[in-house]
Homo-oligomer: A and B are copies of this chain.
Amino acid sequence: MANQLCPLDQVFSALSDPTRRAIVMRLCAGEASVGELADPFDMALPSFMKHIHVLETSGLVQSEKSGRVRTCRLSPDALLGAEDWFQRQRAIWEARLDRFEAYVMKLKKEKERAAAKRPSRTTKKKGYE
């Protein structure tokens, strides 16, 4: 229970389709009507509209109809939210790498100190630059 409430599910799912990613990329450059958006694609309009709808329910795109033409624009919050997820993961990942590097440095230091004590033992194989 309590599923599908996470917007990331829908955002990533929406972006997993190349057609929809192309639509988003197009909309980054500015708003457009459904017809303009659909034009480059060799696809029946109803199929294309499904993609638009997926993008709308994911929160990536908003649209409004005026007269008989529906204009779509990007709604950047969803995009930013997804980008943010990556940044958070990267932060965790990099923090871990830093700790690891610190650990390696500590080992290296210890080895050097040991080597200084009883000189000229296996101090070869530097590695790790």
Residue A17 CB within 8 A of the other chain: yes
A residues 90-129 touching B (CB-CB < 8 Å):
90, 92-93, 96
Chain A residues touching B, majority SS:
helix
Indicate which residue in B17, B28, B30, B93 contacts A28 across the interface (CB closer than 8 Å): B93
Measured between beta carbons, the chain B residues less than 8 angstroms from A25 are: 89, 92
Q: Contacts A29-B96, A83-B83; is A89 near B24 (CB within 8 Å)?
A: yes
Nearest CB in chain B: distance from A128 CB, A: 18
Nearest CB in chain B: distance from A12 CB, A: 4
**Assembled-state Cα–Cα distance A29/B29 (Å):** 37
Nearest CB in chain B: distance from A32 CB, A: 12
Q: Please state if B17 and A9 are interface contacts (CB–CB under 8 Å).
A: yes
Measured between beta carbons, the chain B residues less than 8 angstroms from A89 are: 24-25, 28, 79
Q: Contacts A9-B18, A12-B12, A96-B30; is A90 near B79 (CB within 8 Å)?
A: yes
- Interface residues of A, Cβ cutoff 8 Å to B: 3, 6, 8-10, 12-13, 15-18, 21, 24-25, 28-30, 74, 76, 79-80, 82-83, 85-87, 89-90, 92-93, 96
Across the A-B interface, give the 8 residue pairs with the lowest CB-CB distance, nearest first: A13-B16, A12-B16, A83-B86, A28-B92, A12-B15, A28-B93, A12-B12, A28-B89
